[in-house]
C-alpha cells in the first residue's frame, strides 16, 4: 500500500499588511501537503511560527525528510516521534487525519464522536495609531468579538479609542510579548475600566516568571509561552488561558492532548491561528469546539481562500468544514 506525497509552497497576499509587535505580514506563506492512497486524496496545511525561525523552506525540508516513511504508510502515532512540534508536523498530521476520515468513509465528527457546533470568531485588528485602529474596529461593526494587537506604544490610548468606537464588543488584547511586568501592572487598571476580556501574551516567552503567583484582575493568556503539550504544566502556573495553535504544537493530534491537559488544570481555552487558509482553520475548528475564545479569522485576512473554504457570516459565525475541504 503506497502513499503518494505532494508538497506545495503557497503564497497568498493579505488584503492589507497585518502589523504586530516586531513583525509585519503582507502574505500568507504556507505549505500544503497532499496524500493519496488507494484513490483517497487528503490534505493538510502548515505555516509554522515565524518567531521560531520556521520558513516555507524549513517546513518543506522537514516533510521531505520523512517522505519515504509517508510513502510506506507512516501512521499519525509514528509521526509524533519522527518530527518535532511545528509547521511541518502540523501539515502532515492534519493530512493524515483527513486521510483516515476519508478512507473510513467518516467525517471528523464521526471519527471523534462529536456533534459540531457553530463557532464565533474574533476579527483581528493590527497595530497602528489610535485613530486608524478605532476606524478598523468600526469596519468590523457586525463582529461581536475583536482581538486587538498592541505594542508598548500608547496601548491604553489605543484601547480607549477602540472602546469608544465599539462599546458593544468583547475585546481581547494581544501584546505579542511587548510589555514588561511593570508595564502590565501599570496598564491593568485602565484596561479593567475598558472591560477587556483577556490579555494574551503580555510578557516575553522565557521572561514571564513574575506571573507565577500573580493574581491579575484580567485573565492572562499564554500563546508564545505555551508552544506544545510539554509546556502546558509550566504555562498553567502562570496563565489563566491556554492558546492552542496547531502550527505551534504540530497538528491536531497534539492539540487534542493539550485540550485535555489544560482542562485537567482547570484552565480556560483559546484556539488561534498563524494567518492560514481555510485548510488550516478546518482542523482548528475541531479544537475550537472546546474553547471559550476562538480566533480562526485567517481566511478573512486573505485576498482569496482555498476552494470549499469555511463559511463566515457577517456576524463572525463560522460553520463546520465540509468534507470537500477537510475531514
Q: What residues act catalytically?
A: 149, 245
Q: Tell me if 146 sits within 8 A of 140, measured CB to CB.
A: yes
Q: Tell me if 179 sits within 8 A of 205, measured CB to CB.
A: no
CB-based contacts of 153: which residues, under 8 Å, 6+ apart?
A: none
Positive or negative, the CA dihedral 229, 248, 67, 34 is positive
Between CA 8 and CA 44 the distance in angstroms is 11
**Residue 205, CA atoms < 13 Å, CB-side half-sphere:** 10
Among 32, 31, 33, 43, CA closest to 101: 43
**DSSP, res 293:** E
Specify the residue for cell string 508552544: 227
Between CA 237 and CA 229 the distance in angstroms is 14
Between CA 60 and CA 77 the distance in angstroms is 21
CB-based contacts of 271: which residues, under 8 Å, 6+ apart?
A: 243, 244, 245, 284, 287, 288, 291, 293, 294, 295, 296
Amino acid at each position: 500500500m503506497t502513499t503518494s506525497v505532494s508538497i506545495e509552497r503557497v503564497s497568498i497576499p493579505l488584503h492589507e499588511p497585518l502589523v504586530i509587535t516586531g513583525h509585519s505580514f503582507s502574505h500568507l506563506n504556507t505549505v500544503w501537503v497532499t496524500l493519496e492512497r488507494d484513490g483517497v486524496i487528503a490534505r493538510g496545511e502548515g505555516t509554522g511560527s515565524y518567531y521560531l525561525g520556521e520558513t516555507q523552506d524549513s517546513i518543506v525540508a522537514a516533510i521531505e525528510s520523512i517522505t519515504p516513511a509517508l510513502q510506506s504508510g507512516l501512521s499519525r502515532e509514528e509521526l509524533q516521534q519522527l518530527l518535532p512540534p511545528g509547521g511541518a508536523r502540523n501539515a502532515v498530521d492534519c493530512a493524515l487525519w483527513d486521510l483516515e476520515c476519508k478512507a473510513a468513509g467518516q467525517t471528523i465528527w464521526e471519527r471523534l464522536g462529536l456533534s459540531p457546533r457553530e463557532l464565533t470568531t474574533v476579527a483581528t485588528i493590527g497595530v497602528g495609531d489610535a485613530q486608524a485602529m478605532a476606524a478598523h474596529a468600526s469596519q468590523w461593526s457586525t463582529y461581536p468579538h475583536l482581538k486587538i494587537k498592541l505594542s508598548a506604544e500608547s496601548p491604553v490610548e489605543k484601547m480607549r479609542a477602540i472602546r469608544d468606537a465599539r462599546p458593544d464588543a468583547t475585546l481581547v488584547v494581544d501584546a505579542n510579548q511587548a510589555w514588561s511586568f511593570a508595564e502590565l501592572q501599570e496598564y491593568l487598571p485602565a484596561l479593567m475600566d475598558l472591560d477587556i476580556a483577556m490579555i494574551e501574551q503580555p510578557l516575553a516567552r522565557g521572561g514571564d516568571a513574575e506571573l507565577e503567583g500573580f493574581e491579575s484582575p484580567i485573565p492572562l493568556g499564554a500563546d508564545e509561552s505555551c508552544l506544545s503539550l510539554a509546556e502546558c504544566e509550566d504555562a498553567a502556573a502562570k496563565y489563566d488561558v491556554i492558546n492552542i495553535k496547531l502550527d505551534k504544537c504540530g497538528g491536531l493530534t497534539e492539540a487534542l492532548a493539550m485540550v485535555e491537559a489544560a482542562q485537567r488544570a482547570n484552565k480556560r481555552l483559546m484556539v488561534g491561528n498563524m494567518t492560514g487558509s481555510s485548510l488550516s482553520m478546518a482542523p482548528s475548528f475541531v479544537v475550537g469546539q472546546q474553547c471559550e475564545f476562538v480566533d480562526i479569522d485567517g481566511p478573512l485576512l486573505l485576498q482569496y481562500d482555498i476552494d470549499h473554504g469555511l463559511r463566515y457570516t457577517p456576524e463572525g459565525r463560522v460553520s463546520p468544514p465540509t468534507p470537500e475541504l477537510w475531514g
